[in-house]
Chain A
Amino acid sequence: MHLTMLSLLLIFACALLAGLLGSLVGLGGGILIVPLLTLAFGLPIRYAIGVSIVAVIATSSGAAAAYVRDHMTNMRIGMFLEMGTTAGAITGAFLAGLLAPQILFIIFGFVLVVSVAPLIFKLGEELPADVHNDRWARDLRLASTYPDRRLGREVAYEVTHTPWGLVMMYVAGMISGLLGIGSGTFKVLAMDTVMRLPMKVSTTTSNFMIGVTAAASAGIYFSRGDIPPLVAAPVALGILGGALVGTRVLARMSNKFVRIIFIPIIAVVAIEMILRGFGINF
């Protein structure tokens, strides 16, 4: 496989689109990179995963910078749970090296389906009531406040089921390392439904954690030689550009419209990934 100016440009354009779409629905766009590189460009899945994990670091770092300054992120919760996600990411990256490519395609397809669940069902609560700190949360001083713009005041919250949250984060990290995605859905799920954090805190804290989680598996992918620079370069720049434009456009597009485009795309891509895993090509 040789690099031509055209294929480089095409990859860049597609990554731009992925970044744009991803930021519009709040999924980061990393989830589209592996299907794009494997299905459309015929890249072996191990390289696609390596490239994707780089794209994930790029988008999450860019977005996290803004949220951190807005004081929405709970850095203590993030740092504590990152012990779970990074350990999981290493496990996942090693597992990816052991599993057959077909299996990776199939797992990816199913995870893709689960990842769009929050776009269809409303998970978690904006302001959970009756949550009380568990012992871990007290000892680790996880409870905090965040400024809610819509309510126009500081909202205090407490944290529960902390150990279970950590366990779920290990699983989320493993999925991230295995498939080269941010696995934000799984992180938010752990913080929303298990630890019962307010939605805004869990989504921004998840974003904060994604970069560090991805860095843990990216280290393995890089030194294993699974990140081809000539593919990673247009993908990283494209997805960053797309995310940048996406945040500008976001205010002007209706949420519903975006979902109507995005959900069918994901459905088709998920089916294709699973079929590819079973050896059926289009």
Chain B
Amino acid sequence: MDKERTIPKNAAVPSEQAEPVSSGKVNPLHKRNDVSQTQPPASGRAPVDMSVVIGWILQGGVMLSSLVILIGIVLALFSAGPQHLFTFPHTLGEVWRGLLAFQPVSVIAVGLLLLLATPVIRVAASIIAFGLEHDRRYVVITSVVLVILVMSFLLGKGAG
């Protein structure tokens, strides 16, 4: 492991925003890094301001889902008779059928699913953003996360 090796030239200097190729002798270990740095330098951020898009997705998702949940609650309150707490749809098919039957619980379930989908959509959007940056490594990493998320829905069904 080379994690302890110090690279004095490039050690956390606050002003290294643009990571200049430093003068004189180049540390051979660090050379490879300089090559990879031909892409956008401030790695946390993207040139296409994906943070704005992602912020919008998160906020929009939360707002939309709370609205749907609220509508569901209002419908539940006005529907006749006591409602069972623990009989509710929990597959996409059941939710859909319940929605067609105008069940308040299904409307709430749709709101909850929208809420659950918000982070998933955020991850999907990140794949596109990294793709636009031609950052293949992060496209792969983000795709792995997306596959895990989609798998979780399918796995839960198996557990019945």
Contact residues of A with B, CB < 8 Å?
Answer: 1-5, 8, 47, 54, 57-58, 61-62, 64-66, 68-69, 71, 73-77, 79-80, 82-83, 86-87, 89-90, 93-94, 97, 129-135, 138-146, 153-158, 160-161, 211-212, 214-225, 227-234, 236-237, 240
Contacts and interface: CB of A to CB of B under 8 A. Distances in A.
Interface of B: 1-7, 11-17, 33, 36-37, 39, 42-46, 50-52, 54-56, 58-59, 61-62, 65-66, 69-70, 72-73, 76-77, 82-86, 88, 90-91, 105, 108-109, 111-113, 115-120, 122-123, 126, 137-138, 141-142, 144-145, 148-149, 151-153, 155-157, 159-160
Contacts of B152: 86, 89-90, 93, 215-220
A195 B141 CA distance: 19
Given A83-B145, A211-B118, A64 B58 contact: yes
Contacts of B137: 139-140
Contact of B58 (A65, A76, A142): A65
Among the interface residues A86, A135, A146, which one has the most CB atoms of the partner chain B within 10 A? A86
Interface of B is mostly: helix
A222 B156 contact: yes
Given A132-B3, A135-B1, A135-B2, 14 more contacts: A1-B85, A3-B85, A58-B66, A61-B58, A79-B123, A83-B145, A143-B43, A146-B44, A154-B17, A219-B149, A223-B91, A232-B108, A233-B72, A233-B112
Contacts of B43: 74, 76, 141-144
Contacts of A160: 3
Contact of A224 (B77, B90, B117, B119): B90
Given A76-B138, A132-B11, A216-B148, A145 B112 contact: no
Nearest to B52: A69
A133 B30 CA distance: 11
A77 B17 CA distance: 18
B45 A156 contact: no
B155 A135 contact: no
Given A83-B144, A90-B151, A140-B137, A2 B85 contact: yes
Given A2-B82, A47-B86, A228-B85, A61 B3 contact: no
A86 B156 contact: no
Contacts of A237: 66, 69-70, 73
Contacts of A231: 85
Contacts of B113: 222
A229 B105 contact: yes
A274 to B, nearest CB: 27
A219 B88 contact: no
Contacts of A143: 43
B156 A240 contact: no
B90 A132 contact: no
B112 A229 contact: yes
Nearest to B44: A144
Nearest to A63: B58
Given A144-B44, A215-B149, A61 B51 contact: no
Given A141-B43, A219-B152, A212 B3 contact: no
A156 B12 contact: yes
B45 A144 contact: yes
Contacts of A146: 44
Nearest to B57: A65
Contact of B116 (A3, A5, A65, A222): A222
Contacts of B123: 79, 82, 212
